Chains A and B, each alone.
Chain A
Amino acid sequence: MARKRYLISVFLVLAAALTGAFYFSYRSAEPVRLTLRFHPFVGDEALLLNQVRYANPGGEGSFKVRDFQFFISNIRLVANSAEFLEPESYHLARFDGDDGTYVIVLENVPREDYRRIEFGIGVDPAANGSIASVGDLDPNGRMAWSWEVGYKFVLFEGGLVLEDTQYPLVYHVGFDENYKLVSIALDNSLFDRQDPSVDFRTDVLQMFKGTQTLDMAALPNVKFDRADAKLLADNYAGLVSKCTSPCTR
């Protein structure tokens, strides 16, 4: 009798262990949703649209940002032996929503040991030469120049105030050669969390003082001049970085 009871106990323990193991493997195999939050800054200050409050990085005067939008494309999560590619991955980041941040949610991400996230700023050449509506790409949208030229990758429109006069600032940067790949390391423990999320700092000022500091008064607009466009693009390669201290405002 005692022996029988013993066997039942063993069986129950085994069953519980097995259930637990199954549950655990089930849970770890279950895809997660990963939230990416982009917080806009102008240098150390949070970006506030339509306010003349930021110093011209390379010269006199203060500037305001009326609109700032850019494409985040081909998001990829890279693990040692696996990677996740978001399908139709074209996102138009903009910061005029209610809380001023831009959020991308990656659905159905397999739980892997991802070490870094990669994405492009701009539109890859294949998509830039196409008129298909994929993701946020829209040939009738604000970021489209025309099918002969492709998309604006980064759009900055605003004004520079110099001695009480406001001058327009127009920076529309596109062209295949200005598609910039960004690679950012992820925390090791990121995917241990139930609802993983990553916060990014998006610093508009990088466009004007990334690798080369620009005077907005001397270069108030950039559109189709390839050299000028490259100058801004080399700068905006550093537009997005991981928040080291809390980025929330």
Chain B
Amino acid sequence: MIRIVLIAAGLSAAMFLAFCDGVFAARSGDPTPLSDFSVPFVFGRFQPPSDNPLTREAVELGRRLFYDPRLSGNNTVSCSTCHMQHLAFTDGKRTGVGVSGEPLAFNSMSLANLMWGPRHFFWNGRVASLEEQALVPIQHPDEMAQDLGELVDELAEEEEYREQFDVAYGKINPQTITAALASFLRTLVSSNSRYDQFLRGEIALSEREELGRKLFMAHPDVKANQRGGNCIDCHSQFLTSGFNTRFDGFTNNGLDAEEDLPAGLQEVTGKPEHRGLFKVPTLRNIALTAPYMHDGRFNTLEQVLAHYNVGIKVSSTLSPLILEADNLSKASQDRVSLNLSEDEAVAIIAFLHTLTDEEFVAAEQFSNPFLAE
């Protein structure tokens, strides 16, 4: 009986494969799985979606699309306009600016290690996959203002795209465009910063950086004589990103008082307890990605540290971890302060600089392919 079941299963699998073969009959060849893709053990598990596996052809296609201004309505703006490699895929602006010239609502996020951390994209978490993500800026009237039908027609005019899509996905449509972009984005792995080299045991950190690392990794506890910068409560120890479970990677970090609190994650979930919560970004390459916060309100890391140290504004959804964290015994609840010393703030900033990955921001495989062509 078991044997019969197995045979039947084998037969249906064969039929399924034959069927797939028929669907993709137009393909001129099979895409090549990305076999040399490896990441540090400490990043943890990762899983590209089963319906969009990482292949060499998809990644190469996604790279061209990422740098192609034809993705915008007036052919002037590409993804790389707001996500520039030398700035760890940010743009140095307070908020992004697209085809309309109107400043966008949010700071352009760095693109690194996107297979880990929160499984929701954009500052307010409004999409749940990279495949969905890319469709938003392409069509947004202020960002790229492109009609998807027109985009497909435009790309199909070019023989190289026709061939690339043919091998990678067998067809050109909005789904395969975003699938290719998502594949390229998944390969943007930053894992050779000095912090990574330290984790691999290749280098030692300076005394100041090491103090900063220890403070980064600790919630302060006066009773236990432990000083802390409280960073780890939101930024995970190796990835330095927000957490990947449900909406645990979103927080209200005290930027605005109750009356000015923006919707944030509440716009997506509708829950009042999510008002004013934003995505916790990776701190990889943070020294290159100013200005900071979802609205780019801080220009320097010193301002960011000063915010956490003495600038927290209290609201109903403020993280209790921020409200409670203090390196001195709490005298009153009137003023929220971490009470880090000047030296400690400087040490944390020194540690943050160890997260800069020079190789990542110069890597040829992430660069503009049109410049090489």
A residues in contact (CB < 8 Å) with B: 49-50, 66, 92, 94, 96, 131, 133, 138-142, 144-148, 157-159, 165, 167-170, 172, 220-221, 223-226, 228
Which of A139, A168, A225 interacts with B323 by CB under 8 Å?
Answer: A168
B44 / chain A contacts, CB cutoff of 8 Å:
133, 138-140
Asked if A140 contacts B243 (CB within 8 A), the reply is: yes
Asked if B239 contacts A140 (CB within 8 A), the reply is yes
Determine the chain A residues whose CB is within 8 A of the CB of B117 once the complex forms: 140
Q: Which of B16-51 contact A (CB under 8 A)?
A: 41-45
Q: In the bound complex, what is the Cα–Cα distance between A172 and B258 (angstroms)?
A: 27
A49, A92, A140, A141 interface centre (most CB from chain B within 10 Å): A140
Which of A66, A96, A141 interacts with B243 by CB under 8 Å? A141
Q: Mark B214-239, 1 if CB is under 8 A from A, else 0.
A: 00011101011010000010001111
* A220 shortest CB reach to chain B, Å: 7
Sample of 20 further A-B pairs with CB below 8 A, known A140-B43, A142-B245, A157-B321: A49-B273, A50-B272, A50-B273, A96-B246, A133-B45, A138-B44, A140-B44, A140-B241, A141-B245, A144-B236, A145-B232, A159-B320, A168-B320, A169-B320, A170-B321, A170-B324, A220-B324, A221-B324, A223-B221, A223-B226
* Contact partner, A144, options B223, B226, B237, B320, Cβ 8 Å: B237
CB <8 Å contact, B243 and A168: no
B333 within 8 A of A: yes
Cross-chain contact A141 with B236 (CB below 8 angstroms): yes
With A133-B44, A140-B236, A140-B244 in contact, do A225 and B321 touch (Cβ < 8 Å)? no
- Known contacts A66-B273, A140-B241, A224-B224, A148 near B217 by CB under 8 Å: yes
Interface: B248 (CB within 8 A): yes
B116 at the A interface (CB under 8 A): yes
Q: List, in ascending order, chain A residues with CB within 8 A of B273's CB.
A: 49-50, 66
A168 to B245, CA, bound (A): 23
Question: For residue B41, which residues in chain A have a CB less than 8 angstroms away from its CB?
Answer: 131
CA distance A234 to B273 in the complex (A): 31
CB distance from A172 to the nearest CB of B (A): 7
Q: From B220, which residue of chain A is reached at the shortest CB distance?
A: A223
Most buried by B among A139, A158, A220: A139
Query: What 0/1 readout, one digit per residue, does chain B (313-347) give for beta carbons within 8 Å of chain A?
Result: 00000001101100000000100000000000000
Chosen A-B contacts, 14 in total, with CB atoms closer than 8 Å, are: A50-B272, A96-B246, A131-B42, A133-B44, A140-B241, A141-B236, A142-B243, A142-B248, A144-B236, A145-B217, A146-B218, A170-B320, A224-B226, A226-B224
State which size class the interface on B falls in: 20 to 34
CA distance A142 to B248 in the complex (A): 7
* Distance in angstroms between the alpha carbons of A149 and B224 in the assembled complex: 13
A140 touches B323 (CB 8 A): no
Contacts of B323 in A (CB 8 A): 168
Q: What are the residues of chain B within 8 A of A147 when measuring CB–CB?
A: 237
Whether the Cβ atoms of B116 and A140 lie closer than 8 Å is: yes
* Chain B nearest CB, measured from A24 CB (Å): 17
Provide the residues of chain A in CB contact with B239, threshold 8 Å: 140
Contacts of B226 in A (CB 8 A): 223-224
B217 touches A146 (CB 8 A): yes
Contacts of B45 in A (CB 8 A): 133
Cβ B232 vs Cβ A146 within 8 A: yes
> Using an 8 Å CB-CB cutoff, how does the interface string of B167-193 with A read, 1 for contact, 0 for none?
000000000000000000000000000
- Asked whether, in the complex, the Cβ of A66 is within 8 Å of the Cβ of B320, the reply is yes
Among A66, A96, A144, A168, the one with the most B-chain Cβ atoms within 10 Å of its Cβ is A168
Chain A residue at smallest Cβ distance from B223: A225
Bound complex: CA A144 to CA B42 (Å)? 13
Name which residue of chain A comes closest to B318, CB basis: A168
CB-based nearest B residue for A157: B320
In Å, the complex CA distance between A223 and B42 comes to 25
